[in-house]
């Protein structure tokens, strides 16, 4: 049965009325899920949706319940979270786990590899980008839907939880020995950060390329919440400012703002402070996590039968660039 027919069957059953599907099209991005846009007509009403379905092989092993709950945690809270509508962890008619969101039309993403992805709107987009991130960090976590599907680390255990997980990914998926990232893992363990100043929702992949903007300087959606978790609020800030997401020639974070300006905006929006030593730790960690993902990607590409070129791209070109970033960060870490 085609995906179109599967979706029609699912929506007809759950909506209690015949649904027709058209304009279905797979879209690029979101390498850890197959992502499709489609229109559905039911009871005479036509709406646009996004389907996120688990692929047979994935760049990141995550629980789709987490992404769904994370998005729902921020519905109506001014952080441009999409409207999450339906989740099927067993896959139902689509045979693999999936969820459906309302589609936000008219948006574009900026490539992390472009030197000036936001052009004249860089400042305005940067202001919103770091403000939204700060709002997510500052949100009290008690009662949020994400708390029902993830554990709640102690403030002084946020770093070990993340580092242990990603170091484990490296152990599991490394094919060729990786001395640089292994040295970074050891360095992080020897120089732990201070406890988190609060427990926060961490988006987990908040960066250039993972939001939609309208082309006129306004962010309209924050995407790709699949690595969301509870943890140290500095984690997202460190991830977004990893040099990987910025063109090497640019000198600005993701082509938006200088780092001190980005930090100041984040502090204002979150009501939190950036401790330099803690931030340095989380920035090195961000590079470790990224490299773990690229290592996994290379493994998945090989073991999955070489089907998705994005996995090769991430596991090769991106991994090489990450090694350069890691080596530089390691050399400067203790001096920070």
Chain positions contacting other proteins, by CB under 8 A: 2-4, 24-28, 36, 113, 175-180, 182-183, 186, 190, 298, 301-302, 305-310, 312-313, 315-317, 320-321, 323-324, 326-328, 330-331
Report the residue number, 273 or 320, with the smaller CB distance to other proteins: 320
Report the residue number, 273 or 307, with the smaller CB distance to other proteins: 307
Report the residue number, 27 or 119, with the smaller CB distance to other proteins: 27
CB of 279 to other proteins, least distance (A): 21
Report the residue number, 12 or 316, with the smaller CB distance to other proteins: 316
**Burial profile 121-153: b = 16 or more Cβ within 10 angstroms, e = fewer:** bbebbbbbbbbbbbbbbbbeeeebbbbeebeeb
CB atoms < 10 A from the CB of 256, how many?
A: 26
CA distance 94 to 101: 15
CB of 144 to other proteins, least distance (A): 33
Find out whether 311 and 297 touch, Cβ atoms under 8 Å: yes
In 193-321, DSSP assigns E strands to: 200-202, 211-213, 219-222, 229-231
Report the residue number, 112 or 138, with the smaller CB distance to other proteins: 112
CB of 330 to other proteins, least distance (A): 6
Alpha helix ranges (H) inside 147-254: 158-173, 179-190, 234-240
CB of 112 to other proteins, least distance (A): 11
* Nearest Cα residue to 102 out of 123, 121, 119, 86: 86
CB of 316 to other proteins, least distance (A): 6
């Amino acid at each position: 049965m085609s995906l179109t027919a599967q979706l029609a069957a699912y929506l007809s059953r759950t909506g209690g009325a015949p649904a027709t599907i058209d304009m279905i099209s797979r879209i690029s991005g979101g390498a850890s899920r197959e992502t499709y846009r489609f229109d559905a007509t039911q009871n005479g009403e036509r709406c646009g949706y996004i389907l996120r379905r688990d692929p047979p092989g994935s760049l990141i092993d995550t629980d789709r319940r987490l992404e769904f709950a994370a998005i729902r945690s921020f519905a109506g809270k001014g952080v441009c979270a999409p409207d999450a509508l339906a989740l099927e962890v067993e896959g139902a008619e689509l045979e693999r786990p999936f969820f459906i969101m309302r589609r936000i039309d008219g948006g574009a993403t900026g490539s992390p590899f472009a030197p000036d992805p936001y052009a004249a709107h860089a400042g305005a987009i940067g202001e919103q980008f770091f403000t939204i991130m700060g709002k997510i960090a500052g949100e009290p976590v008690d009662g949020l839907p994400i708390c029902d599907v993830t554990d709640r680390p102690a403030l002084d255990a946020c770093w070990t939880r993340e580092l242990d997980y990603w170091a484990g990914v490296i152990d599991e998926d490394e094919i060729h020995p990786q001395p640089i990232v292994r040295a970074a893992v050891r360095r992080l363990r020897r120089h732990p950060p201070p406890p988190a100043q609060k427990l926060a929702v961490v988006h987990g992949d908040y960066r250039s390329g993972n939001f939609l903007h309208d082309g006129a300087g306004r962010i309209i959606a924050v995407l790709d919440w699949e690595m969301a978790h509870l943890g140290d609020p500095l984690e997202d800030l460190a991830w977004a400012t990893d040099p990987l997401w910025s063109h090497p020639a640019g000198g600005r974070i993701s082509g938006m703002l200088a780092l001190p300006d980005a930090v100041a905006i984040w502090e204002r929006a979150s009501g939190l402070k950036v401790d330099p030593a803690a931030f340095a730790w989380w920035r090195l960690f961000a590079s470790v996590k990224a490299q773990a993902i690229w290592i996994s990607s290379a493994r998945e590409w090989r073991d999955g039968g070489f089907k998705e070129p994005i996995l090769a791209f991430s596991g090769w070109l991106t991994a090489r660039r990450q090694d350069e970033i890691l080596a530089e960060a390691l050399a400067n870490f203790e001096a920070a």
